[in-house]
Chain A
């Protein structure tokens, strides 16, 4: 009897676990949305679920954990700096917050340009992860090594 009773319950838990219960949602409402592909802006809403963009469009009354009124604001994908000299600073505890980058709308930077940066990328990555990061960081090896 216990087996029959428990199995459906486990199934329901598994089904219920993704998205709604676990992942936080943010609805950015009524912004001038630029899609990053060079198109003109459109008035739309953007729904974030967890770390993903879940939907873009006129979404209507979608339930969300937080609603941001973006009326009159431009909404763009996070900017990416593919040639950033901020790697050494971001790897240190004092500046890993990346505030100067975030203030420019940069959410991702690629460090170690111009053949610069450390040879030991594992150590650099460990520094990033120990101090935690404001923006995302890609840390490829620079050229010429």
Chain B
């Protein structure tokens, strides 16, 4: 858990957080083994009909 951390600072703000090894969005890997996949599997949420 200590590996999950923010790296941005006040003077150097454009830095990504670290530590996520896998992230799944709607069943597809958006981060795979620490690397972005740009799967673009997100959706606009809609009210259930």
Interface residues of A (CB under 8 A from B): 24, 26, 28, 48-52, 68, 70, 73-74, 78, 96-100, 102-105, 107-108, 125, 128-129, 132-139
Contact = CB atoms under 8 A, between A and B. Distances in A.
B22 A68 contact: yes
B44 A125 contact: yes
B40 A134 contact: yes
Contact of A107 (B1, B6, B25): B25
A103 B31 contact: yes
A103 B3 CA distance: 12
Interface in B20-35: 20-31
A44 to B, nearest CB: 15
A137 B44 contact: yes
Contacts of A70: 22
B23 A78 contact: yes
A98 B42 contact: yes
Contacts of A68: 22
Q: What secondary structure prevails in chain B residues at the interface with A?
A: loop
Contacts of B28: 51
Contacts of A102: 20, 23, 25, 30-31, 36
14 contacts: A26-B29, A48-B24, A48-B27, A51-B27, A52-B27, A78-B25, A102-B36, A104-B17, A104-B20, A107-B23, A128-B44, A133-B43, A134-B40, A135-B42
B40 to A, nearest CB: 4
Contacts of B25: 78, 102, 107, 134-136
A97 B40 contact: yes
A7 to B, nearest CB: 33
A133 B44 contact: yes
Given A103-B17, A136-B26, 6 more contacts: A105-B20, A107-B24, A128-B44, A133-B42, A135-B30, A136-B25
